Structure 1
Amino acid sequence: MEPANELVYIVDDETSVGEALSTLLRANGKRVQIFTSGQDFLDFARRDSCACLILDLKMPGLGGLEVQKLISTKTSIPVIFLTGRGDIPSTVRAMRGGAVDFLTKPVDEDALLASVERALRQDYATRQEAVEYARLVARYESLTPREREVLSLLARGLLNKQAAFELGITEYTVQIHRGHIMRKMEADSFATLVKLAGKLELEMMSTSHGKM
Structure 2
Amino acid sequence: MNGSAPAVYIVDDDPAVRESLVLLMETEGLLARSFPSARDFLAAGPENWRGCVVTDVRMGEMSGMDLLAQVKQTAPHLPVVMITAYGDVPLAVEAMKLGASDFLEKPYAEREFIAAVRGALNEAANAEARTGVRLEMERKFQTLSASERRVLGGLLEGKLNKTAAYEMGVSLRTVEALRASVMTKLGADSLSDLVRATMRAGLDRIISSAAAETGPFPPP
Q: Tell me, yes or no, whether TM beats 0.5.
A: yes
- Cα distance in 1 for partners of 2:134, 2:163 equals 29
Cα root mean square deviation, aligned: 2.1
Task: String of CA shifts for 1:174-210, please: whole Å, max 9, x gaps.
Answer: 00101110000000112212222333343245659x9
1:34-113 equivalences under 5 Å are 34-46=34-46, 48-75=48-75, 76-84=77-85, 87-113=88-114
2:34 is paired with a residue whose SS is: strand
Structure 1 equivalent of residue 178 of structure 2: 177
Q: Deviations over 1:97-149 (max 9, x none)?
A: 22222212343111101111111111100110000111011111110111001
**Normalising by structure 1, what TM-score?**
0.90
Correspondence 1:17 to 2:17: yes
2:163 alignment partner, SS class: helix
Task: Indicate how the Cα distance of structure 1 residues 85 and 106 shifts in structure 2: closer, same or farther if over 3 A, else same.
Answer: closer
In the alignment, is the contact (CA less than 8 A) between 1:164 and 1:170 conserved in 2?
yes
Partner SS, residue 5 of structure 1: coil
User: How far, CA to CA, are the matches of 1:78 and 1:203 in structure 2?
Assistant: 27
Query: What is the CA distance between 1:86 and its match in structure 2?
Result: 5.5
1:167 and 1:23 map into 2 onto residues whose CA distance is 65
Where in structure 1 do 4 or more consecutive aligned residues deviate above 4 Å? 205-208
**Could you tell me how far 1:58 is from its partner in structure 2?**
0.4
Q: Identity of aligned pairs, percent?
A: 32
Amino acid at match of 2:62: L
Q: Which whole-Å CA distance do the structure 2 matches of 1:120 and 1:194 have between them?
A: 29
Equivalents in 1 of 2:103, 2:204: separation in Å?
A: 38
Deviates more, 1:173-182 or 1:49-58: 49-58
Amino acid of the residue matched to residue 30 of structure 2? K
Partner of 1:188: 189
TM-score normalized with structure 2 length: 0.87
1-structure distance, mates of 2:43, 2:171: 59
